Structure 1
Amino acid sequence: MAINKKVSFFQKYFCCGTQSDIQEPKTTLNTYILTTTIFEYWKSNKKDPIFYSMSLLDGFYQDKSKKIKTLHPLKDLIFSETLTKITLFSCPICFRYFNFILSSSCCANYICHICAFEFQRPNCHFCQNESCNYNDADLNSQKIYTDSQGLQLYALQLQKT
Protein backbone atom coordinates (compact mmCIF):
# COMPACT_ATOMS: atom_id res chain seq x y z
CA MET A 1 0.00 0.00 0.00
CA ALA A 2 1.56 3.28 -1.16
CA ILE A 3 1.65 6.19 1.26
CA ASN A 4 0.87 9.58 -0.27
CA LYS A 5 3.92 11.49 0.95
CA LYS A 6 3.99 15.24 0.41
CA VAL A 7 7.31 17.05 0.58
CA SER A 8 7.97 20.73 1.00
CA PHE A 9 8.89 23.11 -1.80
CA PHE A 10 12.49 23.14 -0.54
CA GLN A 11 12.74 19.35 -0.45
CA LYS A 12 11.36 19.03 -3.98
CA TYR A 13 13.81 21.42 -5.56
CA PHE A 14 16.85 20.98 -3.36
CA CYS A 15 16.64 17.49 -1.86
CA CYS A 16 14.80 14.37 -2.85
CA GLY A 17 11.22 15.11 -3.95
CA THR A 18 9.62 14.38 -7.30
CA GLN A 19 7.15 16.40 -9.36
CA SER A 20 4.17 14.37 -8.09
CA ASP A 21 5.26 14.88 -4.45
CA ILE A 22 5.42 18.66 -4.57
CA GLN A 23 3.34 20.67 -2.14
CA GLU A 24 3.42 24.19 -3.54
CA PRO A 25 3.61 27.09 -1.08
CA LYS A 26 0.29 28.78 -0.40
CA THR A 27 0.44 32.24 -1.94
CA THR A 28 -2.16 34.53 -3.41
CA LEU A 29 -1.66 36.59 -6.51
CA ASN A 30 -3.04 39.82 -5.04
CA THR A 31 -1.26 39.89 -1.70
CA TYR A 32 -1.67 43.35 -0.23
CA ILE A 33 0.19 44.32 2.91
CA LEU A 34 -1.11 47.39 4.66
CA THR A 35 1.11 50.44 4.74
CA THR A 36 0.82 52.23 8.04
CA THR A 37 2.21 55.19 9.95
CA ILE A 38 4.45 55.19 12.98
CA PHE A 39 1.61 56.51 15.15
CA GLU A 40 -0.57 53.54 14.15
CA TYR A 41 2.35 51.23 14.96
CA TRP A 42 2.76 52.74 18.43
CA LYS A 43 -0.97 52.53 19.10
CA SER A 44 -1.25 48.91 17.96
CA ASN A 45 1.80 47.91 20.00
CA LYS A 46 0.61 49.82 23.09
CA LYS A 47 3.61 52.14 23.07
CA ASP A 48 3.43 55.65 24.42
CA PRO A 49 4.09 58.25 21.67
CA ILE A 50 5.45 60.64 24.33
CA PHE A 51 8.66 58.62 24.44
CA TYR A 52 9.09 59.12 20.67
CA SER A 53 8.85 62.89 20.57
CA MET A 54 11.13 65.26 18.71
CA SER A 55 11.19 69.03 19.06
CA LEU A 56 11.29 71.43 16.12
CA LEU A 57 14.56 73.42 16.22
CA ASP A 58 15.94 75.50 13.34
CA GLY A 59 13.67 73.81 10.80
CA PHE A 60 14.68 70.29 11.88
CA TYR A 61 12.99 67.78 14.14
CA GLN A 62 15.58 66.82 16.73
CA ASP A 63 15.96 64.52 19.68
CA LYS A 64 19.32 65.39 21.24
CA SER A 65 19.36 62.45 23.66
CA LYS A 66 19.27 59.98 20.75
CA LYS A 67 21.23 62.22 18.36
CA ILE A 68 18.49 62.24 15.69
CA LYS A 69 18.07 65.16 13.28
CA THR A 70 15.46 64.94 10.51
CA LEU A 71 13.36 67.17 8.29
CA HIS A 72 10.36 64.84 8.53
CA PRO A 73 7.83 64.93 11.37
CA LEU A 74 7.02 61.52 12.79
CA LYS A 75 3.41 61.79 11.61
CA ASP A 76 4.67 61.75 7.98
CA LEU A 77 6.70 58.55 8.35
CA ILE A 78 5.11 55.56 6.62
CA PHE A 79 6.30 51.98 6.73
CA SER A 80 5.31 48.71 5.13
CA GLU A 81 6.30 45.07 5.20
CA THR A 82 6.92 45.16 1.43
CA LEU A 83 8.60 47.57 -0.95
CA THR A 84 6.07 49.95 -2.51
CA LYS A 85 6.16 53.18 -4.48
CA ILE A 86 5.69 55.04 -1.19
CA THR A 87 8.24 53.12 0.89
CA LEU A 88 11.57 53.23 -0.92
CA PHE A 89 14.05 52.59 1.90
CA SER A 90 14.89 49.38 3.74
CA CYS A 91 15.95 49.23 7.41
CA PRO A 92 18.63 46.54 7.95
CA ILE A 93 17.61 46.09 11.60
CA CYS A 94 13.83 45.52 11.48
CA PHE A 95 13.64 44.58 7.73
CA ARG A 96 10.74 46.94 7.04
CA TYR A 97 10.43 49.52 4.28
CA PHE A 98 10.05 53.27 4.90
CA ASN A 99 9.38 56.42 2.93
CA PHE A 100 12.13 58.25 4.88
CA ILE A 101 15.12 56.79 6.70
CA LEU A 102 18.09 57.98 8.75
CA SER A 103 21.77 57.51 7.92
CA SER A 104 24.52 57.30 10.53
CA SER A 105 27.14 60.02 10.22
CA CYS A 106 30.06 57.74 11.10
CA CYS A 107 29.58 54.65 8.90
CA ALA A 108 26.71 55.80 6.58
CA ASN A 109 24.47 52.82 7.41
CA TYR A 110 20.69 53.17 7.37
CA ILE A 111 18.40 52.92 10.37
CA CYS A 112 14.71 53.70 10.52
CA HIS A 113 13.24 56.19 12.97
CA ILE A 114 11.51 53.42 14.93
CA CYS A 115 14.72 51.45 15.51
CA ALA A 116 16.69 54.62 16.31
CA PHE A 117 14.12 55.46 19.00
CA GLU A 118 13.59 51.97 20.38
CA PHE A 119 17.23 50.95 20.72
CA GLN A 120 18.41 53.72 22.99
CA ARG A 121 22.15 53.57 22.66
CA PRO A 122 24.54 56.48 22.98
CA ASN A 123 26.83 54.79 20.42
CA CYS A 124 26.23 53.98 16.76
CA HIS A 125 24.04 50.92 16.24
CA PHE A 126 26.50 49.53 13.70
CA CYS A 127 30.11 50.53 14.39
CA GLN A 128 29.73 51.59 18.06
CA ASN A 129 31.22 55.04 17.37
CA GLU A 130 30.48 57.38 20.28
CA SER A 131 30.23 60.54 18.19
CA CYS A 132 27.56 59.25 15.80
CA ASN A 133 24.54 61.31 14.72
CA TYR A 134 21.56 60.22 12.64
CA ASN A 135 20.50 62.48 9.77
CA ASP A 136 18.17 62.05 6.82
CA ALA A 137 19.55 59.70 4.16
CA ASP A 138 20.44 61.11 0.77
CA LEU A 139 17.67 60.27 -1.70
CA ASN A 140 20.11 60.15 -4.62
CA SER A 141 22.34 57.42 -3.20
CA GLN A 142 19.84 54.82 -2.06
CA LYS A 143 21.26 51.61 -0.56
CA ILE A 144 19.55 48.28 -1.12
CA TYR A 145 20.18 45.74 1.62
CA THR A 146 18.12 42.87 0.29
CA ASP A 147 19.60 39.89 -1.54
CA SER A 148 16.55 39.52 -3.72
CA GLN A 149 17.31 40.47 -7.32
CA GLY A 150 13.63 41.13 -7.99
CA LEU A 151 13.46 43.69 -5.19
CA GLN A 152 16.70 45.26 -6.31
CA LEU A 153 15.36 45.74 -9.85
CA TYR A 154 12.08 47.09 -8.51
CA ALA A 155 13.91 49.51 -6.22
CA LEU A 156 16.06 50.73 -9.13
CA GLN A 157 12.94 51.32 -11.22
CA LEU A 158 11.40 53.32 -8.38
CA GLN A 159 14.59 55.30 -7.99
CA LYS A 160 14.57 56.32 -11.67
CA THR A 161 11.00 57.67 -11.54
Structure 2
Amino acid sequence: MAKNRKVSFFQKYFCCGTSNDIQEPKTTLNTYIITTTIIEYLKSNKKDPKLYSMQLLDGFYQDKAKKIKTLHPPKDLMFSETLTKITLFSCPICFRYFNFILSSSCCANYICHICAFEFQRPNCHFCQNESCTYQDADLNTQKIYTDSQGMQLYALQLQKN
Protein backbone atom coordinates (compact mmCIF):
# COMPACT_ATOMS: atom_id res chain seq x y z
CA MET A 1 0.00 0.00 0.00
CA ALA A 2 1.53 3.31 -1.14
CA LYS A 3 1.72 5.99 1.47
CA ASN A 4 0.48 9.40 0.32
CA ARG A 5 3.45 11.58 1.16
CA LYS A 6 3.75 15.29 0.57
CA VAL A 7 6.96 16.89 -0.60
CA SER A 8 7.91 20.51 -0.36
CA PHE A 9 7.77 22.96 -3.20
CA PHE A 10 11.58 22.93 -3.34
CA GLN A 11 11.66 19.14 -3.64
CA LYS A 12 9.09 19.23 -6.43
CA TYR A 13 10.97 21.65 -8.62
CA PHE A 14 14.57 21.05 -7.64
CA CYS A 15 14.86 17.53 -6.32
CA CYS A 16 12.53 14.56 -6.33
CA GLY A 17 8.75 14.32 -6.17
CA THR A 18 6.00 13.67 -8.63
CA SER A 19 2.86 15.55 -9.48
CA ASN A 20 0.87 13.28 -7.12
CA ASP A 21 3.16 14.08 -4.18
CA ILE A 22 3.02 17.84 -4.34
CA GLN A 23 1.95 20.16 -1.60
CA GLU A 24 1.86 23.52 -3.34
CA PRO A 25 2.76 26.64 -1.39
CA LYS A 26 -0.02 29.05 -0.51
CA THR A 27 0.18 31.78 -3.12
CA THR A 28 -2.13 34.62 -4.00
CA LEU A 29 -2.97 33.42 -7.49
CA ASN A 30 -6.60 32.61 -6.68
CA THR A 31 -7.26 35.43 -4.24
CA TYR A 32 -8.37 38.98 -4.76
CA ILE A 33 -5.29 41.13 -5.23
CA ILE A 34 -5.46 44.77 -4.26
CA THR A 35 -3.36 47.09 -6.38
CA THR A 36 -3.38 50.73 -5.38
CA THR A 37 -1.79 53.99 -6.45
CA ILE A 38 0.68 56.05 -4.51
CA ILE A 39 -1.92 58.85 -4.27
CA GLU A 40 -4.39 56.45 -2.57
CA TYR A 41 -1.57 55.33 -0.26
CA LEU A 42 -0.83 58.91 0.77
CA LYS A 43 -4.52 59.61 1.47
CA SER A 44 -5.11 56.42 3.44
CA ASN A 45 -1.96 56.89 5.54
CA LYS A 46 -2.55 60.62 6.12
CA LYS A 47 0.74 61.59 4.50
CA ASP A 48 1.43 65.11 3.31
CA PRO A 49 1.42 64.98 -0.52
CA LYS A 50 3.78 67.98 -0.67
CA LEU A 51 6.55 65.78 0.73
CA TYR A 52 6.13 63.41 -2.24
CA SER A 53 6.13 66.00 -5.00
CA MET A 54 8.48 66.07 -7.94
CA GLN A 55 9.16 68.75 -10.52
CA LEU A 56 9.41 68.16 -14.25
CA LEU A 57 12.93 69.22 -15.29
CA ASP A 58 14.61 68.32 -18.60
CA GLY A 59 11.99 65.65 -19.34
CA PHE A 60 12.44 63.88 -15.96
CA TYR A 61 10.54 64.10 -12.70
CA GLN A 62 12.94 65.05 -9.92
CA ASP A 63 12.58 65.64 -6.21
CA LYS A 64 13.73 68.79 -4.42
CA ALA A 65 16.99 67.19 -3.27
CA LYS A 66 17.71 65.99 -6.86
CA LYS A 67 18.30 62.45 -5.61
CA ILE A 68 15.38 60.93 -7.54
CA LYS A 69 15.29 61.17 -11.35
CA THR A 70 12.46 59.28 -13.02
CA LEU A 71 10.27 59.27 -16.11
CA HIS A 72 7.27 58.15 -14.03
CA PRO A 73 5.23 60.74 -12.13
CA PRO A 74 3.79 59.64 -8.78
CA LYS A 75 0.26 59.42 -10.27
CA ASP A 76 1.45 56.53 -12.51
CA LEU A 77 2.93 54.47 -9.67
CA MET A 78 1.01 51.33 -8.72
CA PHE A 79 1.85 48.97 -5.91
CA SER A 80 0.56 45.81 -4.33
CA GLU A 81 1.30 43.68 -1.30
CA THR A 82 1.66 40.68 -3.62
CA LEU A 83 3.31 40.00 -6.95
CA THR A 84 1.03 40.59 -9.93
CA LYS A 85 1.37 40.99 -13.68
CA ILE A 86 1.21 44.74 -13.14
CA THR A 87 3.56 44.98 -10.16
CA LEU A 88 6.64 42.95 -11.06
CA PHE A 89 9.37 44.76 -9.09
CA SER A 90 9.97 44.28 -5.37
CA CYS A 91 11.35 46.80 -2.92
CA PRO A 92 13.74 45.17 -0.41
CA ILE A 93 12.95 47.83 2.20
CA CYS A 94 9.13 47.81 2.44
CA PHE A 95 8.59 44.37 0.80
CA ARG A 96 5.90 45.67 -1.56
CA TYR A 97 5.67 45.15 -5.33
CA PHE A 98 5.62 48.01 -7.85
CA ASN A 99 5.04 48.61 -11.55
CA PHE A 100 8.03 51.00 -11.69
CA ILE A 101 11.00 51.00 -9.35
CA LEU A 102 14.18 52.98 -8.84
CA SER A 103 17.74 51.70 -8.91
CA SER A 104 20.61 53.21 -6.93
CA SER A 105 23.36 54.62 -9.13
CA CYS A 106 26.16 53.25 -6.95
CA CYS A 107 25.24 49.63 -6.18
CA ALA A 108 22.22 49.08 -8.51
CA ASN A 109 19.90 47.91 -5.72
CA TYR A 110 16.18 48.59 -6.06
CA ILE A 111 14.22 51.00 -3.93
CA CYS A 112 10.63 52.06 -4.44
CA HIS A 113 9.60 55.68 -4.87
CA ILE A 114 7.80 55.68 -1.51
CA CYS A 115 10.86 54.50 0.44
CA ALA A 116 13.16 56.83 -1.49
CA PHE A 117 10.94 59.76 -0.50
CA GLU A 118 10.32 58.68 3.09
CA PHE A 119 13.92 57.83 3.96
CA GLN A 120 15.76 60.58 2.12
CA ARG A 121 19.26 60.96 3.40
CA PRO A 122 22.58 61.95 1.85
CA ASN A 123 23.98 58.40 1.67
CA CYS A 124 22.80 55.36 -0.25
CA HIS A 125 20.36 53.18 1.70
CA PHE A 126 22.40 50.08 0.86
CA CYS A 127 26.13 50.78 0.45
CA GLN A 128 26.30 54.19 2.17
CA ASN A 129 27.82 55.87 -0.91
CA GLU A 130 27.71 59.64 -0.44
CA SER A 131 26.94 60.57 -4.05
CA CYS A 132 24.05 58.19 -4.68
CA THR A 133 21.09 59.06 -6.89
CA TYR A 134 18.03 56.98 -7.73
CA GLN A 135 17.01 56.47 -11.35
CA ASP A 136 14.52 54.25 -13.13
CA ALA A 137 15.53 50.59 -13.08
CA ASP A 138 15.96 48.73 -16.34
CA LEU A 139 12.51 47.30 -17.09
CA ASN A 140 14.03 44.40 -19.08
CA THR A 141 15.77 42.96 -16.02
CA GLN A 142 14.22 42.03 -12.72
CA LYS A 143 15.88 41.46 -9.37
CA ILE A 144 14.08 39.07 -7.07
CA TYR A 145 14.82 39.78 -3.42
CA THR A 146 12.60 37.15 -1.84
CA ASP A 147 14.08 33.81 -0.84
CA SER A 148 10.82 31.97 -1.42
CA GLN A 149 11.19 29.53 -4.30
CA GLY A 150 7.49 29.85 -5.06
CA MET A 151 7.67 33.61 -5.46
CA GLN A 152 10.85 33.35 -7.53
CA LEU A 153 9.26 30.85 -9.92
CA TYR A 154 6.10 32.90 -10.15
CA ALA A 155 8.13 36.06 -10.86
CA LEU A 156 10.09 34.31 -13.58
CA GLN A 157 6.87 33.03 -15.17
CA LEU A 158 5.38 36.53 -15.14
CA GLN A 159 8.55 37.96 -16.62
CA LYS A 160 8.45 35.46 -19.53
CA ASN A 161 4.82 36.27 -20.39
TM-score (norm 1): 0.80
Residue correspondence of structure 1 range 106-117 to structure 2 within 5 A: 106-117=106-117
Q: Are 1:133 and 2:133 an aligned pair? A: yes
Residue correspondence of structure 1 range 1-161 to structure 2 within 5 A: 30-65=30-65, 67-161=67-161
Cα distance change, pair 52–113 in 1 and its aligned pair in 2 (3 A): same
- Which amino acid letter does the alignment assign opposite residue 114 of structure 1? I
CA displacement 1:26-79 (0-9 Å, x = unmatched)? x99842231100000000000011110000111110114150000001000000
Aligned equivalents of 2:51, 2:158: Cα separation in 1: 33
- Which amino acid letter does the alignment assign opposite residue 74 of structure 1? P
Aligned equivalents of 2:66, 2:118: Cα separation in 1: 10
Aligned equivalents of 1:38, 1:152: Cα separation in 2: 25
RMSD over aligned Cα atoms: 1.9
4+ residue runs of structure 1 moved beyond 6 angstroms? none
Once the two structures are TM-superposed, the CA of residue 123 in structure 1 deviates from its matched residue by 0.7
TM-score (norm 2): 0.80
Once the two structures are TM-superposed, the CA of residue 116 in structure 1 deviates from its matched residue by 0.2
Unpaired runs of 5+ in structure 1? 1-26
Aligned equivalents of 1:41, 1:78: Cα separation in 2: 10
On the 8 A contact 2:28/2:82 being kept in 1, the answer is no
What is the SS of the residue equivalent to 1:130? coil
Would you say how many aligned residue pairs link Structure 1 and Structure 2?
Answer: 136
Aligned equivalents of 1:104, 1:89: Cα separation in 2: 14
What is the SS of the residue equivalent to 2:42? helix
Cα distance change, pair 79–29 in 1 and its aligned pair in 2 (3 A): closer
Identity %: 90
Unpaired runs of 5+ in structure 2? 1-26
